[in-house]
Amino acid sequence: MDRSATKDQYRQALEVAHRHALSWLDTVDERPIRPEADVDGILDSLVRTLPAQGAHPAAVVEELADAALPGLMAIGSSRFYGFVMGGAYPAAIAADWLVSAWDQNTGSRQPTPATAAVEEVAAAWLLELLGLPAESGVGFVTGATSANMACLVVARDAVVRARGFDPSAGIQQAPPITFLAGDAVHTSVVLAGRLAGLGVPRTVGADAEGRIDVGGLERALADSSGPVIVALQAGDVHSGAFDDFAAAVAVARAAGAWVHVDGAFGLWAAASPHLRHLTAGLEDADSWATDAHKTLNVPYDCGVAIVRDEAAMTASLGAHAAYLPAVASISDPYDRAPELSRRARGVPVWAALRSLGRDGVVALVDGLAEAATGLADGFRAIPGLEVLNDVVFTQVCLAARDDDTTAALGEWLRAEGTVWASSSRWQGRTVVRFAVSNHGTDAEAVARTVDAVRRGAAALDLRA
């Protein structure tokens, strides 16, 4: 195929994608949030046997879009509250398209200077916004779980190195590491700990909102004689509560422990003058993990791993080979993330921050918290329902008179389609959990959500 024909195919395929993308974005906030078809239905729409002959790229994209549409969840809707999934700002989506078109492997600064430079600016902006040490290392990874894992690998190596052991000799021979967390530790930290070779964390207690028991942490630390890693939490997945960082970090520091903070969505509270009190003392930890998709509203595939000691980060995550270009005094992107090859996922972060500015980030974070408060106030006015958590950030847990009725309410809402909220178990009860994560969740979206819940309560006769 000649080059001009290839260029035409790029143009035609991208024009089809552009048309379908705009159609989706134009309708996403008004369509039923639930998918209209299940996996089997979508499979029936796809060619199941790979054809011997290929198809024109534009026809392939058309076929994909038509087959997938009935199975798409309207996650970008302002009334989607499931699984702490945010939307995506226009600049971030457009920048992500450019990232795919540019196809830069952003592992090293030398061969891909443009995307590496943009990511370095984005990293500096993040540290400034979140009030974290400016000298910290920042790695752009796939999501919050991979960010937690990267940080815990660095923590693992650092705490055994501090005991005189070389982690490159293999962690199997290292002194046993005590891994501590509160009772409400998120499953991503548990998984990350397992992958890092730390095992499942030993829990030390938590209060009714999920905040770590600092007294229990202090007792556990007193019983630990070897290297210790403590995982704290900024934003409980059910209540939205934040650990008492000032007290917990001080206790951990006194015991010589490494302190890691899982801030998948809650770390962003540090950017708001009105919510920063929730994160007081968080800046004194050793590492932090977050997900830019959740609160910053960039497209998926954008976790952020942050480590105070950049040298420790590069010692654990860095790669070295004769064919890899390097500057001895400057770390490369692949020194701060466990990947040699990756897309320039920090570029959409730069685009979101550049389009918002500092004031826009503050307005975003404050707006999410205000919407959660508005939902909670509206739900409390519906007979037969109660809000179980203290709404301090973006999470609202709703319950009816018994577990079966609460489960039925969640099913009714998801089937009706105006809103989508997750069902879960919290504090021994079934709940419908509303996680406010989309920048478009405004007063109108809140009102429509409360109205949908009111109609669901009436349909289930919750007054009875």
Q: What residues does 180 pair with on adjacent strands?
A: 202, 230
Check residue 346 and give its pLDDT: 97
Type and span of the H or E element at 73: none
SS3 381: coil
Specify the pTM: 0.96
**With contact defined as beta carbons under 8 Å apart, do 259 and 243 qualify?**
no
Return the structure tokens found at 263. Answer: 């801030």
What's the CATH fold of domain 94-352? Answer: Aspartate Aminotransferase; domain 2 (3.40.640)
CA distance to 97, 303, 464, per residue, from 347 (Å): 10, 12, 53
The distance of Cα 173 from the centroid of its chain, to the nearest Å, equals: 34
396, 387 in Cβ contact below 8 A?
Answer: yes
DSSP state of 161: H
Look at residue 329 in the predicted model and tell me its pLDDT. Answer: 65
Give the full edge-to-edge strand order of the sheet including 386-387.
386-387, 395-399, 429-435, 422-426
Outline which parts of the chain fall under CATH 1.20.1340.
3-74
State the span(s) of the chain assigned CATH 3.40.640.10: 94-352
CB 149 within 8 Å of CB 198: no
The answer to whether 106 touches 118, Cβ cutoff 8 Å, is no
Domain with CATH 3.90.1150.10 in the chain: 357-459
First CA to last CA distance, the chain: 71
Residues 6+ apart with CB under 8 A from 2: none
DSSP per-residue codes, 312-369: HHHHHH----TTS--BTTB--GGGSSS-SS---THHHHHHHHHHHHHHHHHHHHHHHH
CB 314 within 8 A of CB 144: no
Q: What is the pLDDT of residue 464?
A: 55
Query: Which of 217, 223, 188 lies closest to 203, judged by CA?
Result: 217
Q: Report the topology of domain 3-74.
A: dopa decarboxylase, N-terminal domain (1.20.1340)
What does the block give as tokens for 134? 């400016």
Q: Max Cα separation, the chain?
A: 73
C-alpha distances out from residue 6 to 16, 51, 56, 58, 237, Å = 16, 21, 11, 12, 47
Query: Residue 326: its pLDDT value, please?
Result: 63
Q: Does domain 357-459 have CATH number 3.90.1150.10?
A: yes
Estimate to the nearest angstrom the gap between the alpha carbon of 342 and the chain centroid: 18
Per-residue pLDDT of the chain (464 residues; tens, 9 = 90+): 677 788 999 999 999 999 999 999 999 999 999 999 999 999 999 998 999 999 999 999 999 999 999 999 999 999 999 999 999 999 999 999 999 999 999 988 889 999 999 999 999 999 999 999 999 999 999 999 999 999 999 999 999 999 999 998 888 888 999 999 999 999 999 999 999 999 999 999 999 999 999 999 999 999 999 999 999 999 999 999 999 999 999 999 999 999 999 999 999 999 999 999 999 999 999 999 999 999 999 999 999 999 999 999 999 999 877 777 766 667 889 999 999 999 999 999 999 999 999 999 999 999 999 999 999 999 999 999 999 999 999 999 999 999 999 999 999 999 999 999 999 999 999 999 999 999 999 999 999 999 999 999 999 988 65
**DSSP β-ladder status, 287-291 and 258-262:** parallel
Q: Contact 382/453 with Cβ under 8 angstroms?
A: yes
